[in-house]
């Protein structure tokens, strides 16, 4: 990631320009998809529609983003809470095990988590939300743990020396200093969630996966490509903007993220 940072500093204008262009094209496409029909027409056969027409793309995009946002927000709150818990003296007994659970949890494939959630929650948004939440927990928890356990001991001693209570130290020193690393976890989790949410459409959740799957079922490559491109563009833009936020926070706290 250091590589990416160095490159961004060297070519700030070109990178920003490309991102703005991508964003503009995405907004334009979602606002008036029909005007892009000639672009996708070569990918269709037998006069099939070039643009997904069973639901407005903008609605699907917003539903998709909404699902990811709700799941990521819930995952962030719970994961940061858990990580703070196991790094306090009262929760120290749980620290080693929580690490190994995270390690094991990451071996669970997203499709399996989603599929196993269906018998529990039925079809629709709920299994998708649950799977995204569960899958989103791990990167955030891991990063928060890293952020909180690798703080310079001198800083913590200074906080104690100033007579801060444990609560003040957590809120004013530990969490702010760990924030860039936590945000990186949120970034990873959100981008994975964006991609995983497309699989949610196999269990009838509303989202952009619907477009891709409709394309696969009817052999319409135009649907597959436009669904995939929208999700991929969203992922890149989200990754970059969360990365920018992370760098800004890191500069403020004077620490570098990994």
Partner 1 sequence: MALAIDRLGAVTAALAAGAIALLPFATFRANRIVAGDPVAVWAALPPAAGLGVAAAVLALAAVALMRTPPAVRLAAAVAGLVLLLVAVGLAATHLTPEGDRYARVAPAAGFWTGLFAFALMLADAVVRLRLGPLARIGGLAAAAAVFAGLFALRVFADLSIVREYGVRAEVFRREALAHMTLALGSLALAMAVGIPAGVLIARKAGLRAPVLNLLNMVQTIPSIALFGMLIAPLGWIAATVPGASAVGIAGIGMAPAFVALFLYSLLPMVANTFVGITGVSRTVVDAADGMGMTRRQRLMAVELPLALPVILTGVRIVLVQNIGLATIAALIGGGGLGVFVFLGIGQTAPDLILLGAVPTVALAFAAAVVLDALVALTGKAPP
Q: Which of residues 122-141 bind partner 1 (CB under 8 A)?
A: 123
How many Å apart are CA 32 and CA 241, to the nearest integer? 25
Query: Does 231 participate in binding partner 1 (rule CB under 8 A)?
Result: yes
Whose tokens are 């459409």? That residue is 201
Query: Does 13 participate in binding partner 1 (rule CB under 8 A)?
Result: no
Residues 138, 72: contact at Cβ < 8 Å? no
Q: 194-219 burial, b if ≥16 CB within 10 A, otherwise e?
A: bebbbbbbbbebbbbbbbbbbbeeee
Residue 55 has phi, psi (to 5 degrees) of -155, 150
Which residue in 100, 153, 167, 254 binds partner 1 (CB under 8 A)?
A: 100
CA distances, 9 to each of 2, 16, 179, 250, 255 (Å): 11, 11, 22, 15, 17
Query: Does 228 participate in binding partner 1 (rule CB under 8 A)?
Result: yes
Write out the DSSP string of 26-65.
HHHHHH-GGGGHHHHGGG--TT--SS--SS-HHHHHHHHH
How many Å apart are CA 50 and CA 254, to the nearest integer? 50
Query: Does 242 participate in binding partner 1 (rule CB under 8 A)?
Result: no
How many Å apart are CA 115 and CA 135, to the nearest integer? 13
Q: Which stretch binds partner 1 (CB under 8 A): 21-29, 49-57, 77-85, 219-227?
A: 219-227
- Rounded least distance, CB 183 to partner 1, Å: 18
Which residue in 49, 169, 202, 255 binds partner 1 (CB under 8 A)?
A: 202
Query: Does 30 participate in binding partner 1 (rule CB under 8 A)?
Result: no
Q: Which stretch binds partner 1 (CB under 8 A): 18-26, 77-85, 161-169, 191-199?
A: 191-199
Q: Which is nearer to partner 1, 164 or 236 (CB)?
A: 236
Q: Which is nearer to partner 1, 22 or 156 (CB)?
A: 22
Residues that bind partner 1 (CB under 8 A): 3-4, 7, 43, 93-94, 96-97, 99-101, 103-104, 106-112, 115-116, 118-119, 123, 191, 194-195, 198-199, 202-203, 209, 212-213, 215-216, 221, 224-225, 227-229, 231-232, 235-236, 239
């Amino acid at each position: 990631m250091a590589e990416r940072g160095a490159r961004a500093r060297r070519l700030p204008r070109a990178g920003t320009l490309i991102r703005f262009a991508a964003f503009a094209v995405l907004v334009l496409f979602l606002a008036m998809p029909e005007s892009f029909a000639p672009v996708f027409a070569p990918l269709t056969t037998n006069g099939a529609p070039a643009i997904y027409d069973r639901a407005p793309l903008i609605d699907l995009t917003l539903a998709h983003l909404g699902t990811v946002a709700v799941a990521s927000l819930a995952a962030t709150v719970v994961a940061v809470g858990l990580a703070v818990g196991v790094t306090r003296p009262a929760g120290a007994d749980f620290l080693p095990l929580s690490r190994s659970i995270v390690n094991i949890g990451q071996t669970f494939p997203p499709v399996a988590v989603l599929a196993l959630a269906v018998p529990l929650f039925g079809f629709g948004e709920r299994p998708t939300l649950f799977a995204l939440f569960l899958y989103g927990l791990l990167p955030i928890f891991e990063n928060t743990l890293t952020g909180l356990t690798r703080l310079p001991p001198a800083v913590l001693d200074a906080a104690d020396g100033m007579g801060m209570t444990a609560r003040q130290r957590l809120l004013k020193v530990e969490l702010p200093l760990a924030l860039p690393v936590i945000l990186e976890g949120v970034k990873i989790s959100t981008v994975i969630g964006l991609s995983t949410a497309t699989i949610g459409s196999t269990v009838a959740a509303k989202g952009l996966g619907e477009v891709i799957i409709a394309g696969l079922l009817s052999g319409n490559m135009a649907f597959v490509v436009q669904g995939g491109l929208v999700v991929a563009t969203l992922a890149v833009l989200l990754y970059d903007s969360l990365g920018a936020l992370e760098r800004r926070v890191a500069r403020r706290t004077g620490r570098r993220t990994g």
